[in-house]
Amino acid sequence: MLTHQSSIAHFLIHLMMMIYAAYTRNWGETFGQIPRLFLSIPMSVLGLIPRGNTGLAKMRIFEKGNVPADLVEFVDETTDGTPRK
């Protein structure tokens, strides 16, 4: 959730998630990260990422989720620190 604002960071976190899933032989997660890798940059640039989406394969790509209380202040800000509308 914290990397959604930066398209490169968002892509890299999905790449790391895919590598870790392959390392742990979690094939469902590994293959579930492939479409997320392709969509991470355009969705970040266009601001289309659903609030609270964890990026795990068990969560649908366009599904919204709950943001943990300790992350709300970070998720609800834009990259320049101003509140999100």
Q: What is the pLDDT of residue 77?
A: 53
Q: What is the pLDDT of residue 2?
A: 54
Question: Structural domain boundaries of the chain?
Answer: 7-75
In angstroms, the CA 9 to CA 80 distance is 16
Q: What is the pLDDT of residue 51?
A: 80
Q: Is the pTM of this model over 0.85?
A: no
In angstroms, the CA 72 to CA 78 distance is 12
Q: What is the pLDDT of residue 3?
A: 59
Q: Which of 52, 54, 56, 49 is nearest to 21 (CA)?
A: 56
Mean pLDDT for each 10-residue chunk of the chain (85 residues)?
73 95 97 94 86 86 82 62 49
